[in-house]
Each structure stands twice: as C-alpha cells, then as structure tokens.
Structure 1
C-alpha cells in the first residue's frame, strides 16, 4: 500500500450563488489514495465530503489545484483524452432508490457502461459479462429482467455496485453507500465491498458520517470540517488517540453498547457553526473549539506531522502530551 494511485494538491472547489456569494465547499485540500487501500473521508453533513469525492474523479470541476491519477495530471485533460481515466474511476451513490433508472431492467443498467465504452462486441459477450457481474455481487440470474422497484434497498445497492465494477476500475468513490440501508443489510454490503476489493485490487474513497462503519472498513481516516482537512492517520491510531479537537468530539459521539456509558459525561460541541459562504478566518473550527487561542483565530493551520499522522492544529503537540 505504498504506491500512490491518486494524489490531490491544493484542491479548491467553490460555487457561486445567484447573489454572487461563494460557497467554499473544498479549500486547499491535499491528500493521497494508495493502491488497494480504503481511505475514509468523515465529517458532519455539509462539510464538503461529497463535493471533494466528485471533484477528485472530475464529476465536478475544481476551481484550482492539481489531481494526478496513476502519475498523470488529469486536472485539465480534455474530455476525449480523459475517457480512459474515466473508466478507471467510478462512483457508488448514496441512495440506491434514486441512482437506478426505473425504466431500465437490471440487465440494461449493468450493461450501460459496457455499451458506452464499447467493451463487448456481441450480444452473447454482453450477456455473459452482465451475468458474471451480477453473480459477483450476489444477484440471482433469474432477476436479470426485473426492474429496480422489484428489489429491496440492499439488492438495489448491489446492482449499483455491479454497475460500478463493470469497467474494472482502479478507484471507486463510495458516497455514503450504506447510510440508506438497515443495519443488518449494511453489514452485508460492507463485507461485499471488502471481498471485491480483495479480489480485484480496488482502492476506495469511502465517504461517511458514521464512524462505526468507517472503523470497520477503512485503512486510513481523513477528517474534514467545513471544507478543510483536520487530521489524516491510520484508523486504529485515530480512534485510540485522536489529536485534532474536532476528531475527539466525533469519536466521543460514537454510541457505546455498554449501558453504563449512558451516564458518562461527554464534552459537547458549543459555539456557532460557521457558514461555508462566510468561513471564519484562521482555523475554521475555532468558533467551536474549547482550546482555541488568538493564533487559531488569525492563522490557518496547515497539515503537518504529529505523532505519526498529519494534523492541522496549532496546538496539536501540546494536546498530544
């Protein structure tokens, strides 16, 4: 897991509203995704996770910054030159109900990317390929000509996964892929994703706000707050000793099975939640951080090595002691 598959440097994505205000969705993000790993991207709703994921695979155009994939700068490639790279980067959507065309059969849904990229030359070859993909995700052959409304939520997500792996990608962005599913079904889908990763050598960017799910599936965790990265580290290390104050609050908010834990006093986030159209100066978390100093209010903290991981906090070393 030392070979870099995708790297982003100084990535920024902004949107201009009708009133000419700018939404600072992603601000100066730099990260790496290694071959064969699962990098989890976590944070509150609205912090820019999905925008970052879509920007990395060029479904959303970056305002500035650089993206390299397999050592090639894909940031400004023309669409016709980007085609071969598009095949190698796919997306699994959050909502298995909305992401499948209700007018298409399962066969047509899974076959669509194969047709688009002209990977099958005969109907027989297409049928064999589709059946193989459906077997890989646990959808029976007899369901081939059913429509999405005839499936459960978990089955629909399996179909979405079959469509995502149809082009043999190297990287899949999983955008909250289990958040709309029952807990028992979530486990099945997570195990399927791990199995496919092992069999196909896939890399995942796994976007989620559920830290229990992230702990199960990820190799490394990338914590995001209001468009900026707070902390990047190996999953076990981040969970056992979070360094950024925001990461600490996220870890403390995970529900515990122990009934006695219900009576433990946990620190709660206070202060004003900043707006992405008017982010505060300095550290964007300082309006809610109990450890904030004047330096935090003035200077933007950069990701730097602390205790074997990357942390964007002026007081990281002090809080680590």
Structure 2
C-alpha cells in the first residue's frame, strides 16, 4: 500500500501516571539538606587531611536533586498536561495541584475550558445565489487532549478555519428569506439554522478532539451591493403575501355573510343584488381606507 493511502492513526486520551508534587518537593528538600550536610562534613574531613570524595559526591547529589525540580508542574482547574516520553504519548494528567514527573518526560499544558469565538463577517451565497454577509458566535472546548495535540498541527487555528468553512456550508443550504414557499430560511428559522451549524462544526472538529457546546448566527444581512434591491423585493413580496391572506379571508367572510343571511331568511337576494353585495363587501374588507357608509332610506331595490 502506498503512503498516500495509509490512514492516519487517531489518538485517544488516557490517564497519565504522575506523582504528587508536594511529596516529591518534600523528598527533594530532604535530599538537598543531606547534600548540604555532606558538603559541610566533607570540607571538615578534607581540612583534617581526609579525602574530598564526600564533598564531590554531595555536590553531584545536590545538582541531580536540582535537576529533579524540572519535573514539577502545576495544574489549575479545567487544565490538562499531556505527558510524552521521547515523543511517545504516555497519557494526560488532569489532577489539580502541584504534580511531578521525571525530568526527561515532556509536558504540554492544554486548556479544557470553554472558549468563545466571534467570527469575522464573511460573504457567502445563499441557496438562491444571493450574496449575504454572515457572522457567528461559537463556544467550544477541548474534549480529547491527545487528539488536540497530536492529530492536528495547531488545534486553535484548526478551529478558526473550520468555523468559517462550516458557516459557509450551512449558509449555502438555505435561502436568506422566502415568502412564497414554506421552507427553512436563514432569517426566519434561527433555531434550525443554529442547530445545523452546531452539528456541522461538531462533525468537522471531532478530528481535533474539540466539541462545540453552542453555535449561533450573530449577523445576517444582504451584501451591500444588492441590499437596496433585495429590500424592495422583500417589501413587495411581503405586500403580496399580506394581500393574498387578506383576499382569502375576505372571500371567506363574504361567503359566511351570504350563507347566514339566506339561512336566517333576513333578506332574499337575486343574483344581481347578490353580486352587488359581494362587490361592496369585498371593497370594504380589502380596501386600505376607512369606509364611508351610505344609508339607503328607501327600498332595497330603489
């Protein structure tokens, strides 16, 4: 199998075997005290004509004890330390407080706290090809420290790039607005769009061990070059939609009025008078101005 077809091995977080830092601090201080005592005692022996080996051994022991201090590290709440041994992953330590590992082991701190990113405004094309400006706010955190450190080069930069890519993908799925069809729109269905954006980002960022807790659009508008034209179109579509509902409601009300008049025997209208009443009622119900009633004091047929 060629190298280009070899799948990447996914990392998985496991617990590291670190030591209690306070205990190791106590041990190291005791060792330093013994080394200091050895130096002082060795100097006395050397002054008395004895061998200076004790001084040399104590100095070497003190230096080695100080080297052990390189293994100390601190972990705050919601932090993890990725431990490696000559490049090999040995686990992640999440125990809070002062910790210690062997000095030759690598230590890489990773924050597992929640991060908040407000993306830049980007220009995309919606489902109908209209250019729009969008931006989003994303709350994310590292779930698997091993994946974040070993499976991507820079997980923070990876998150930034994938947020923009996910925003473009979700924005292209739906139109900005729609008055004619009952479908999901970016402006009219924020809950649906936000849920899709969160799911899209979680799928993209799973490779870096990152989970998205919240994602929502914070800016949505037509691009400046078509904003005026689309506003006029939006207003026209709104007027048409409102007029359509108004006419349908008026026809229903006229039908109810005629049926009620006939059923109760209040008035008997021929076809011509029925048509005139329908016309008058439609004008009253669909007109934009207030109606000025005309009182007929004579017969209905005069």
- TM-score in same-fold range (> 0.5): no
TM-score (norm 2): 0.20
More helix by share: 2
- Which of structures 1 and 2 has the larger relative contact order (alpha carbons within 8 angstroms, sep 6+)? 1
Q: Which of 1 and 2 has greater Rg?
A: 2
